[in-house]
Amino acid sequence: MQRPLGLGLRLRLMLTLAAVAVFPIAFVSYVIVRDEVRNVTRSIDFEVHDAALNAQARFSRLLDRRQLRAVTAASAPSLQGAIGRHDARSLERYARRNGLLIEVGGRTYGRRLEDAVPARAQLVSGGREIGSVVAELPLDAATLGEMSAGAAQGVRLTVVDVGGPTPPDTTQGTTLPLTRKVGIRAYLPAAMASHRKNAAYLRVVEAGLLALAALMLLTLVLTRPLLRAFRWTEEQASEARIDALTGLANRRALEEILAAEISRAQRFTHELAVVLLDLDRFKEINDSFGHAAGDAMLREVSRLLISLARQGDTVARWGGEEFVVVLPETDLAGAQQFAERLRRTIEAHAVGEMKTSASCGVATMLHEDSVDELVGAADQALYQAKSNGRNRTESAIRRPRPAVA
């Protein structure tokens, strides 16, 4: 009959197993701490970039309202009458009462703001331009407050000179232009960013200490669930915007990015193109080689797309075997050349015994486009490429919609 293990022997065994596990746990804790801090940094970068994009869009709407105000004032009968009478006192009174600048006859009426962006409307009399009405958008605390509405907690905004030095305490931030000379910088103060990183570090350290204590009690029984829990936490942090199979941006992330690019292109009259790519007869690969081989092909195509894209382009998995590439500041000819380069590269590339080809649909943005309209135009071009025999590139021929009266 075997004697039961004594308490001292079991304690020594537990301590030995714990001592052996200290180094792996320390290494895993180091990796998790590093990745957690990196995730916090990425989260901060996303929050400040999103705040800058929203501020830029809100600024555009505020400036548009000022422009409409100037246009309305320019056609007001009272203003036209004062101009016709050359009544300087009435012009000054009208300008100050409405918060406008009136420039006519070589003189300026009203009060000019120091830090403001002008929205100008022409004054016309007898079919010729005689001056202008200017509605100014002040770059003050009130305007910044409107632009920062909806920003993540702690994110701050400041107006900076485009191309000028970065203000102190704003090193982790994003600057986007509002005009040629003025930009908006969204940032998280250095102390707050440091606090969030330290908090993430402390959370991981506390979890590691608890894991070590649990290991002392249950040895290897809790090791796998603990690591699985950490892995699940990391996956949850990234799966909202990242496609799990390819590592590319997913459809949700692409729609947000494309909406921001459309807004930027509309504001600054830039070109914007989209390439929608679909692998030809992909079902035959799954049927012939299995779904695991099909997944390998999707990952390899994703790698090729990333390697061919420029810095600033966005590559995303739209769904199934469809991919989307967003090309800022690219016209139709440039997008066609890029799509053809993608198509030829995919056609010439093999994954083991597997080869495939791709059909591409190309579309460029019209000024009034939404995300659905731009992607829909590329989808129609892709359908045309499929109908014309696959393994080819077709472009959407688009004309601006007639203006609605």
Task: Spell out the SS3 assignment of the chain.
Answer: CCCCCCHHHHHHHHHHHHHHHHHHHHHHHHHHHHHHHHHHHHHHHHHHHHHHHHHHHHHHHHHHHHHHHHHHHHCCHHHHHHHHHCCHHHHHHHHHHCCEEEEECCEEECCCCCCEEEEEEEEEECCEEEEEEEEEEECCHHHHHHHCCCCCCCCEEEEEECCCCCCCCCCCEEEEECCCCEEEEEECCHHHHHHHHHHHHHHHHHHHHHHHHHHHHHHHHHHHHHHHHHHHHHHHHHHCCECCCCCCECHHHHHHHHHHHHHHHHHHCCCEEEEEEEECCHHHHHHHHCHHHHHHHHHHHHHHHHHHCCCCCEEEEEECCEEEEEEECCCHHHHHHHHHHHHHHHHHCEECCEECCEEEEEEECCCCCCHHHHHHHHHHHHHHHHHCCCCCEEECCCCCCCCCC
Nearest Cα to 382, choosing from 276, 280, 281, 302? 276
Q: Is 377 exposed, middle or buried (0-12, 13-18, 19+ CB in 10 A)?
A: buried
Which one from 36, 321, 322, 394 is the annotated catalytic residue? 321
285 vs 216: CA distance, rounded Å? 50
Exposure class string for 92-103: b at 16+ Cβ within 10 A, else e: bebbeebebbbb
Is 321 known to be catalytic?
yes
Instruction: Please give the backbone phi and psi of residue 291, each rounded to the nearest 5 degrees, phi first.
Output: -70, -30
Q: Which residues contact 180 (CB under 8 A, 6 or more apart)?
A: 162
Catalytic residues: 321
